[in-house]
């Protein structure tokens, strides 16, 4: 296994408990207890996945998520308050790949971690680059996206969503289908996750593209239009 996971939570008891469970499963684990330390360890520890609490001293989990996603492609699971939907929506808008609400069952957290790591590694086999409408280029072996020769930074899940849509132009995917194909059968989230990721992809592409390619099919889901 040997995947590296960074656990960020200022409550030492929760941090320690998550760390022990992950180490028992064979993961290499490091801990951070505030936002600034999380940013530092995202560089020094170079994790494959980050478990990130929303409420942190020195820098909020939202700000940490935003900064990391601006510079790296690391899957992030947010830990949020059970009743605060706003936290979950904002976290997804800022680039988190998943969220789990406190208090949580450790078995559920482990299942989400395994699903996210499995989907973020080797889900797309390197092959010939994809050029879409002479505007969008996907360089598969580098997991890089260029829009009119401008590199667009996408999170792992954003990349997989865009790749799936571009590989199947004009095919309509329901939100449930996108959850299944990109997040996997064992994903525990809801369709709002798809909407948030699509919104972010659209915004990033629109900075350089002449057209809005990702079309909403009302009452169904999304498709990538050819023109």
**Is the same domain home to 138 and 116?**
no
**Is the same domain home to 142 and 92?**
no
**H/E element holding 123?**
none
The residue-averaged pLDDT of 73-98 equals 72
Asked whether the predicted pLDDT for residue 114 surpasses 80, the reply is yes
pLDDT single digits (tens) 167-176: 898 999 998 8
pLDDT single digits (tens) 179-211: 888 876 555 556 778 888 898 899 899 888 888
**Is the same domain home to 25 and 116?**
yes
CA distances from 114 to 72, 144, 153, 180 (A): 20, 24, 24, 15
**Is the same domain home to 10 and 104?**
yes
- For residues 52 and 96, the answer to whether their CB atoms sit within 8 Å is yes
Q: What rounded mean pLDDT belongs to the chain?
A: 84
Q: Please give the order of strands across the beta sheet that includes 4-8.
A: 28-32, 4-8, 49-53, 76-81, 98-102
Is 163 contained in some domain?
yes
Task: Give the per-residue pLDDT at 20.
Answer: 94
Domain that includes residue 205, residue range: 130-224
Number of domains in the chain: 2
Which CATH number covers residue 214? 1.10.10.10
Closest CA to 53 of 34, 67, 26, 40: 34
**Is the same domain home to 79 and 136?**
no
Residue 137, strand partner residues: 131, 146
Measured between alpha carbons, how far is 73 from 6 in angstroms, rounded to an integer?
14
Query: Please, what's the b/e burial string for 136-174 (b: 16 or more CB within 10 A of its CB; e: otherwise)?
Result: bbbeeeebbbbbeeeebebbbbbbbbbbbbbeeeeeebe
pLDDT single digits (tens) 141-159: 777 888 988 988 888 788 8
**Is the same domain home to 175 and 198?**
yes
Asked whether the predicted pLDDT for residue 226 surpasses 80, the reply is no
Which CATH number covers residue 98? 3.40.50.2300
Is 125 contained in some domain?
no
The residue-averaged pLDDT of 33-45 equals 94
**Is the same domain home to 116 and 138?**
no
Asked whether the predicted pLDDT for residue 132 surpasses 90, the reply is no
Q: Which residue has the higher pLDDT, 173 or 88?
A: 173
CA dihedral 27, 31, 35, 41 (to 10 degrees): -70
Instruction: Give the domain-ending residue among 71, 90, 120.
Output: 120
Query: Which residues lie closer than 8 Å to 214 by C-beta, 6 or more apart?
Result: 165, 198, 201, 202, 205, 222, 223, 224, 225
User: Based on the number of CB atoms within 10 Å of its own CB, is 22 exposed (0-12), middle (13-18) or buried (19 or more)?
Assistant: buried
**Is the same domain home to 23 and 62?**
yes
Task: Give the per-residue pLDDT at 87.
Answer: 61
Instruction: Give the domain-ending residue among 59, 92, 120.
Output: 120
Q: From the CA atom positions of the chain, what is the Rg in Å? A: 17
- For residues 223 and 173, the answer to whether their CB atoms sit within 8 Å is yes
Q: Report residue 79 as tokens.
A: 């830990």
**Is the same domain home to 86 and 143?**
no
**Is the same domain home to 26 and 75?**
yes
Confidence of residue 24 (pLDDT cuts 50, 70, 90): very high
């Amino acid at each position: 296994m040997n995947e590296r996971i960074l656990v960020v939570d200022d409550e030492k008891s929760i941090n320690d408990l998550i760390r022990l469970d992950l180490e028992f499963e064979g993961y290499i684990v490091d801990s951070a207890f505030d936002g600034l330390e999380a940013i530092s360890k995202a560089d020094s520890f170079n994790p494959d996945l980050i478990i990130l609490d929303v409420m942190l001293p020195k820098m909020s989990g939202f700000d940490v998520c935003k900064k990391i996603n601006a510079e790296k492609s690391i899957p992030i699971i947010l830990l949020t308050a059970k009743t605060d939907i706003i936290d979950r929506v904002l976290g997804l808008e800022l680039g988190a790949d998943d969220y789990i609400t406190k208090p949580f069952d450790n078995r559920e957290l482990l299942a989400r971690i395994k699903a996210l790591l499995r989907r973020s590694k080797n889900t797309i086999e390197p092959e010939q680059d994809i050029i879409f409408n002479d505007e969008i280029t996907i360089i598969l072996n580098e997991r890089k996206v260029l829009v009119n020769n401008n590199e667009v930074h996408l999170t792992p899940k954003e990349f997989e969503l865009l790749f799936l849509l571009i590989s199947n132009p004009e095919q309509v995917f329901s939100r449930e289908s996108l959850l299944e194909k990109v997040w996997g059968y064992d994903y525990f989230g809801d369709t709002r996750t798809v909407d948030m990721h699509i919104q972010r992809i659209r915004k990033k592409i629109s900075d350089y593209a002449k057209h809005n390619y990702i079309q909403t099919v009302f009452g169904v889901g999304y498709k990538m239009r050819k023109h």
